[in-house]
């Protein structure tokens, strides 16, 4: 375990002490959100991103140690473990290195080499491999054996060279050097049938160095190969690799029979090593591509989940459709459904005036503030009618086109059926669209993160790793924002640190039975929620109108006593906190000194700073500090766009090659990475994230293909 601690410290660039303490917290069953928020003194202030990376690497290194022990045991059982071999095994830093070392000892299917050994040709192979023999054919003739089907000298020599070829292939040092050489000097080459139209045409005659190819291009090429449009190979000058292999053999051995060992080495590379290493390199590139895609997807999901809510507004959600009509749901400020309807207004034969009249009736009856329109089928036609209607209203009603990605998945789910048993699938979708505008986080946690429409190649990557990563992102977002204990759904509660699906449901059951929670301590009455779970989850659960103001903050119950003692030290009372009358708290803290206060309260400075921040604004939502969503009152079509037009838009997706921006025409425009800034941009996420409000200029519009090219370079203001 000491080695693991050292390796984590080196890889993550943090101290051994930090790693050791953090690993100890993890081993004791503490969750990442809890460690990040409430154990800063222990970890040295490591944030959730670093902690999750540490957790992932810790699991990898633990599996590496398990594999190391397995290999030592397996080789011991064969009675072949030497001191030199043990040193190599203990020094291996990756699973690939370990597998290379174990390769000669792995049980093999019948190969050309094993067949040759069965024919008694191993002694001949050893002589060719360790001696310089003058009369090779004479010695080989001694191994002719009709019973073993060694009928000629050539049969004997070929069998011996098969054995040598396999021994060369099994040499861990040779394989490592060749793998590194090919990685540095080979190219990925893809070919396709030029007359066959597809999205992969740019890869029909494509070549790029292995060491330089971008991760997203590897995933695109892989997909093209899987769908049958591309043939792909790792291309390298074989003769140069064979020369490298022979030079390593010459450096290793004082004597060997050159002509035959050279032939065996060439055969070993072409038949055994090259195909294997090509697979390994393709796998490595794919894993790198998957890692990048998962990272991009995770960051996009995080940004999407942390979009600012549209608070204190009654919202009408519209799920557009053609033949089946538009499904409408009106929800109040808390997301409770007030009314639903189905109207028909998107086909030429529909009575649009009748549909508008129904919408107007709902808007006036329930004082609707905002209309959320799903961006799927018939969205454009729906938007036109909605804009006509709100332009005729005497009071302001705004609208926004909302991504409905995953809404159909949710509305057909068992969860949606339990939540809205009285509604059919389409009406549930309308409710979801309305609630997404009100609180993206609370609604989107009900949907598999893979289905919410951000990222790239999410269906091509390791699904378990993607699911684990996205689950961690959702957990971090939920715990960052905090959850209202008296309104949160079981779906939302299940992402709170330490709370399982079963406990989440039990929390809601208790809430319904008791008429709500009055304080956090009541959680200990919930079935299945013990002291350990309470410790992990309590600080992330809020009770806005409870009897204790601290219950509506991120102050953990374990710090309540310190928070109470702090107030009189700063000449405040609890009522001052409740009224928000502590605006000069920073000045008072500075006057006494944060270090002195922490010492007197017997708590760490990071915890004290967090308490102070929470006291400033009980119930605060960190999302409120972000730019608000763009609500619209007018409409524009792609046909209205002209080059050089300057527009304001919302970033909907960030990928390796750029960002897609919603400029209000139902077709997101692409800002290519080269158009993001006048300065060099290494990755689009260095300058943008999902939800950012940006000013862009139109470069080009292809109406027929629905493509819009945008730029952010030298765009200063909106005309």
Residue 701 contacts residue 708 (beta carbons within 8 Å): yes
Q: In whole angstroms, give the CA distance from residue 195 to residue 201.
A: 9
555/601 same-domain check: yes
Average confidence score pLDDT of the chain: 91
276/191 same-domain check: yes
DSSP string covering 472-536, please?
Answer: HHHHHHHHHH-EETTT--HHHHTTSTT--HHHHHHHHHHHHHHTS-SSGGGGGGSTT--HHHHHH
- Residue 137: inside a domain, yes or no? yes
228/364 same-domain check: no
Residue 440 contacts residue 305 (beta carbons within 8 Å): yes
Report the share of the chain in percent with pLDDT over 70: 98
Residue 479 contacts residue 310 (beta carbons within 8 Å): no
Phi first, then psi: give them for residue 555, nearest 5 degrees: -70, 125
187-191 and 205-209 as β-strands: parallel, antiparallel, unpaired?
antiparallel
555/676 same-domain check: no
593/700 same-domain check: no
Query: How many residues in total does the chain contain?
Result: 719
- DSSP run (H or E) holding 398: strand 398-402
| Largest CA-CA distance found in the chain, in angstroms, rounded | 108
The CATH number linked to 249 is 1.10.3500.10
562/671 same-domain check: no
Q: Of the candidates 420, 438, 456, which is a domain's last residue?
A: 438
Q: Which two tokens stand for residue 225?
A: 């190969």
Phi first, then psi: give them for residue 704, nearest 5 degrees: -60, -45
Burial class (CB in 10 A: 0-12, 13-18, 19+), 131: middle
- Residue 405: inside a domain, yes or no? yes
Q: Which residues contact 575 (CB under 8 A, 6 or more apart)?
A: none
315-319 and 370-374 as β-strands: parallel, antiparallel, unpaired?
parallel
Residue 650 contacts residue 303 (beta carbons within 8 Å): no
146/194 same-domain check: yes
The CATH number linked to 598 is 1.10.150.310
- Residue 228: inside a domain, yes or no? yes
Q: What is the pLDDT of residue 633?
A: 67
Number of domains in the chain: 5
- Residue 630: inside a domain, yes or no? no
Q: In whole angstroms, give the CA distance from residue 204 to residue 192.
A: 4
135/239 same-domain check: yes
Residue 148 contacts residue 175 (beta carbons within 8 Å): no
Angstrom distances, CA of residue 365 to CA of 316, 355, 358: 12, 15, 11
101/125 same-domain check: no
**696: closest CA among 653, 657, 644, 654?**
644
**712: closest CA among 687, 680, 686, 675?**
675
Q: What is the pLDDT of residue 1?
A: 43
CA 107 from chain center: how many Å?
37
pTM of the model: 0.80
Residues 430, 433, 434, 439, CA torsion sign: positive
- Residue 25: inside a domain, yes or no? yes
The CATH number linked to 396 is 3.30.420.140
CA dihedral 39, 12, 219, 666 (to 10 degrees): 40
Burial class (CB in 10 A: 0-12, 13-18, 19+), 12: middle
Residue 264 contacts residue 165 (beta carbons within 8 Å): yes
Q: Of the candidates 417, 438, 459, which is a domain's last residue?
A: 438
Please list the ranges in the chain whose pLDDT falls under 50. Answer: 1-2, 719
- Residue 6: inside a domain, yes or no? yes
What is the residue range of 408's domain?
315-438
205-209 sheet: strands from edge to edge: 205-209, 187-191, 231-235
707-711 and 315-319 as β-strands: parallel, antiparallel, unpaired?
unpaired
Q: Of the candidates 625, 651, 686, which is a domain's last residue?
A: 625
Residue 294 contacts residue 449 (beta carbons within 8 Å): no
280/202 same-domain check: yes
526/645 same-domain check: no
- Residue 447: inside a domain, yes or no? no
Q: What is the pLDDT of residue 416?
A: 85
Residue 689 contacts residue 679 (beta carbons within 8 Å): no
Residue 291 contacts residue 159 (beta carbons within 8 Å): no
Residue 583 contacts residue 593 (beta carbons within 8 Å): no
- Residue 475: inside a domain, yes or no? no
Q: Which two tokens stand for residue 583?
A: 């605006």
The CATH number linked to 672 is 2.40.50.140
639-688 pLDDT, tens digit per residue, is 888 898 888 888 888 988 899 998 877 788 999 999 999 889 888 988 89
The CATH number linked to 58 is 1.10.10.650
Residues 440, 444, 450, 451, CA torsion sign: negative
DSSP string covering 657-692, please?
Answer: TEEEEE-SSSSPEEEEGGGS-SS--S-GGGT--TT-
55/134 same-domain check: no
**Which DSSP symbol is given to 628?**
P
């Amino acid at each position: 375990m000491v080695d693991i601690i050292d390796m984590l410290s080196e890889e993550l660039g943090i101290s051994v002490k930090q790693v050791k303490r953090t690993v100890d917290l993890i081993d004791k069953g503490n969750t990442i959100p809890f460690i990040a928020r409430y154990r800063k003194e222990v970890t040295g202030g490591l944030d959730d991103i670093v902690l999750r990376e540490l957790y992932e690497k810790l699991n990898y290194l633990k599996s590496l140690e398990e594999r190391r022990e397995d290999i030592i045991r397996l080789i011991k059982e064969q009675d072949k473990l030497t001191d030199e071999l043990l040193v190599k095994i203990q020094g291996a830093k990756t699973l690939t290195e370990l597998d290379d070392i174990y390769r000669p000892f792995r049980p093999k299917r019948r190969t050309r080499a094993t067949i040759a050994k069965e024919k008694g040709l191993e002694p001949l192979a050893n002589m060719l491999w360790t001696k310089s023999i003058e009369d090779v054919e004479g010695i080989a003739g001694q191994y002719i054996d009709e019973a073993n089907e060694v009928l000629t000298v050539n049969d004997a020599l070929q069998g011996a060279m098969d054995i040598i070829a396999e021994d060369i292939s099994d040499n861990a040092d040779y394989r490592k050097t060749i793998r590194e050489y090919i990685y540095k000097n080979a190219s990925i080459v893809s070919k396709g049938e030029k007359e066959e139209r597809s999205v992969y045409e740019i890869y029909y005659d494509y070549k790029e160095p292995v060491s330089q190819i971008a991760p997203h291009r590897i995933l695109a090429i892989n997909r093209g190969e899987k769908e049958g449009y591309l043939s792909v190979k790792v291309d390298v000058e074989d003769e140069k690799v064979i020369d490298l292999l022979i030079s390593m053999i010459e450096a290793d051995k004082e004597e060997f029979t050159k002509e035959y060992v050279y032939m065996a080495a060439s055969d070993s590379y072409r038949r055994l090593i090259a195909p294997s290493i090509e697979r390994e390199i393709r796998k490595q590139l794919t894993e790198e591509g998957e890692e990048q895609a998962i990272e991009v997807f995770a960051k996009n999901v995080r940004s999407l989940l942390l979009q600012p809510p549209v608070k204190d507004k009654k919202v009408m959600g519209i799920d557009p459709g053609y033949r089946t009509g538009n499904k409408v749901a009106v929800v109040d400020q808390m997301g409770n459904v007030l009314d639903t309807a189905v109207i028909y207004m998107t086909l030429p034969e529909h009575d649009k005036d009748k549909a508008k009249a129904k919408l107007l009736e709902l808007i006036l009856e329930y004082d609707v503030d905002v209309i959320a329109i799903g961006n799927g089928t018939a969205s454009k036609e729906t938007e036109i009618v909605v804009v006509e209607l709100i332009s005729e209203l005497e009071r302001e009603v705004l609208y926004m086109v909302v991504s409905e990605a995953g809404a159909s998945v949710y509305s057909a789910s068992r969860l949606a059926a339990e939540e809205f048993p009285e509604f059919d699938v389409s009406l549930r979708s309308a409710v979801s669209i309305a609630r997404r505008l009100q609180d993206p986080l609370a609604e989107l946690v009900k949907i598999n993160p893979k289905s919410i429409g951000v990222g790239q190649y999410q269906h091509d990557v390791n699904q378990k790793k993607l699911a684990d990563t996205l689950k961690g992102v959702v957990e971090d977002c939920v715990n960052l924002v905090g959850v209202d204990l008296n309104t949160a759904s079981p779906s939302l509660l299940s992402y709170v640190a330490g709370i399982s699906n079963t406990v989440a449901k039990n929390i809601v059951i208790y809430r319904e039975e008791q008429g709500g929670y009055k304080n956090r301590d009541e959680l200990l009455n919930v079935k299945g929620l013990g002291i350990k779970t309470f410790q992990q989850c309590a600080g992330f659960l809020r009770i806005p109108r409870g009897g204790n103001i601290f219950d509506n903050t991120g102050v953990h119950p374990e710090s309540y006593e310190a928070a109470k003692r702090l107030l009189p030290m700063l000449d405040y009372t609890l009522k001052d906190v409740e009224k928000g009358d502590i605006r000069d708290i920073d000045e008072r803290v500075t006057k006494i000194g944060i270090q002195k206060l922490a010492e007197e309260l017997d708590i760490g400075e990071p915890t004290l700073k967090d308490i102070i921040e929470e006291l400033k604004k009980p119930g605060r939502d960190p999302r409120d500090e972000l730019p608000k969503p763009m609500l619209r009152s007018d409409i524009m079509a792609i046909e209205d766009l002209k080059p050089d037009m300057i527009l304001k838009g919302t970033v909907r997706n960030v990928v390796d090659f750029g960002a897609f921006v919603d400029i209000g025409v139902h077709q997101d425009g692409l800002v290519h990475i080269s158009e993001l800034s006048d300065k060099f941009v290494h990755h689009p996420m260095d300058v943008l994230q999902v939800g950012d409000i940006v000013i862009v200029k139109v470069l080009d519009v292809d109406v027929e293909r629905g493509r819009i090219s945008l730029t952010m370079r030298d765009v200063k203001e909106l005309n």
